Structure 1
Amino acid sequence: MDRKDLRTPQGEIARILVEFLEVAITSVIFLKGIYPNGAFERRRYMNVVVHKARHPQLNEYIHTAVVALLPFINKVEGANLEFSLRSFLIKLPVSEPLTKVLPRNCRWEIMAYFRSLPEASTSKDAEMWIPTDTKQWQQPPTIIPIKSMSSEPLGLQLYLEHPSLSEPKNEEK
């Protein structure tokens, strides 16, 4: 999607979604304490206090991953989308007590689930996303729902996944 596409109503919706996902992912990383608090600075987005990573490589990684989602989300339409997305940002900090403490040196990844992948030839950005093995864990994960919304054709759910309690731990020797 080039700059002129971002000026259309459709492009504006895609831009809002990309910005929102960048802010939401950064917020989760901050709230989970993956990096020290000093690695983030407070900002306002959609009239909500959020955190932005100070490290340019972290910002670039998140931005690149989210922009690569444009082929998947560029058909989204909807009124009041910004209002609906704002509620997700408000819900994130209050959901922190539902999360588990992360181990030191934990890893994280950005995952997106779609009903179908765009054709590889439609976008270079789409090539960044690769289908994943749906059997991430040997046992079904524990899922904690946080927030959901529907603004056709977009349905968005925010939830936490943790390995099930019966999942064996991978211990490094």
Structure 2
Amino acid sequence: MSSSSTPIESTSKIQVAADIVAEFLEVAFHCILHNRDLYPAGVFERRKKYNVPVHMCLHPDVIQYIAQILESIKLLLDTREVDRVSLVILDHQQNPVERFVFEIGYPSKYTDFSSDILFTELEQSLRAFLLKLNVCDAMLKPLPNDATWVIHIHTNDCAMLRLEEKQILKNFPWIEAEEKQKTMHSPTLVPMKTVSSDIVKMQLFVEESAMKCDPSTS
């Protein structure tokens, strides 16, 4: 007699992987906010993650917003129902001018997480992601002075309904993204980094809008 349920051992490994991805995304979000000058440098504190210097925003509203976002992402990672997470930078008309896209894949089979080699190799890979983010401003054109940002999660309808039910109770409801915020004008793709391991599969790239590159179109 077969069962469609996930074995407890596999579930715990999925949760470990979800924790790793969520922790990395938290640092990555803060790095993007700092390196793309979305907030004044004075509201960031210099720290280290994976032995890489990073900057974390100290503004309470930003900290709370990112924490609530990560709580939601973690719920979907635990059930392997998130395909990509995007930090979208918008101009004053709410048009996307930059999109940092984290594509997330899931290993078909999780190996033994007790091996320290696995985590050492993964840490090196995530370290490379942060090093790329620290120099991303040299690869991208400047943002408009009045830029804002938002997080988009790509998932399925059933997962979205469950997420909405849980988050409404915490006064942090998710809504479907406006079509205007999803549609980018003639984007240029800037590859950043890819990691494929027995724990996490992830790819980071940036989409840069032609509207930002040509002021006459904004």
TM-score by length of 1: 0.76
> 1:15 and 1:168, CA in 2 relative to 1: closer, same or farther beyond 3 A?
same
Alpha-carbon distance between aligned partners in 2 of 1:138 and 1:44, rounded to the nearest angstrom: 34
Deviation at 1:61?
0.6
Alpha-carbon distance between aligned partners in 2 of 1:133 and 1:152, rounded to the nearest angstrom: 35
Match of 2:133 among 74, 92, 101: 92
Alignment of structure 1 residues 42-61 onto 2, 5 Å: 42-61=46-65
1:66 lines up with 2:70 in the alignment: yes
Which residue pairs with 2:94 in the alignment? none
Unaligned runs of 5+ residues in structure 1 are 1-7
Alpha-carbon distance between aligned partners in 2 of 1:153 and 1:134, rounded to the nearest angstrom: 34
Deviations 1:122-159 (A, max 9, x none): 67249844443566336332221111223468542222
> 1:87 and 1:128, CA in 2 relative to 1: closer, same or farther beyond 3 A?
farther
Alpha-carbon distance between aligned partners in 2 of 1:142 and 1:70, rounded to the nearest angstrom: 30
3-state SS of paired residue (2:151): coil
Alpha-carbon distance between aligned partners in 2 of 1:69 and 1:58, rounded to the nearest angstrom: 16
Alpha-carbon distance between aligned partners in 1 of 2:32 and 2:187, rounded to the nearest angstrom: 19
Match of 2:152 among 103, 108, 111: 111
Which residue pairs with 2:217 in the alignment? 168
Which residue pairs with 1:5 in the alignment? none
3-state SS of paired residue (1:132): coil
Which residue pairs with 1:132 in the alignment? 177
Give the conservation status (yes or no) of the 8 Å contact 2:17–2:199. no
Which residue pairs with 1:101 in the alignment? 142
Which residue pairs with 2:189 in the alignment? 143
Which amino acid letter does the alignment assign opposite residue 101 of structure 1? P
Alpha-carbon distance between aligned partners in 2 of 1:153 and 1:133, rounded to the nearest angstrom: 33
RMSD: 2.9
Going by fraction, where is strand more abundant, 1 or 2? 2
Which amino acid letter does the alignment assign opposite residue 28 of structure 1? I
Compare 47-56 and 130-139 and name the one that shifted more: 130-139
> 1:93 and 1:119, CA in 2 relative to 1: closer, same or farther beyond 3 A?
closer
Which amino acid letter does the alignment assign opposite residue 87 of structure 1? A
Which amino acid letter does the alignment assign opposite residue 108 of structure 1? W
Which residue pairs with 1:28 in the alignment? 32
Give the conservation status (yes or no) of the 8 Å contact 1:145–1:159. yes
3-state SS of paired residue (2:76): helix
Deviation at 1:60?
0.9
Alpha-carbon distance between aligned partners in 2 of 1:130 and 1:151, rounded to the nearest angstrom: 32
Structure with higher Rg: it is 2
Q: How many residues align?
A: 161
Task: Identify the structure with bigger relative contact order (alpha carbons < 8 Å, sequence gap 6+).
Answer: 2
Deviations 1:52-75 (A, max 9, x none): 111111111111112211132124
3-state SS of paired residue (1:149): strand
State the identity %: 32
Give the conservation status (yes or no) of the 8 Å contact 2:35–2:136. no
Deviation at 1:20?
0.8
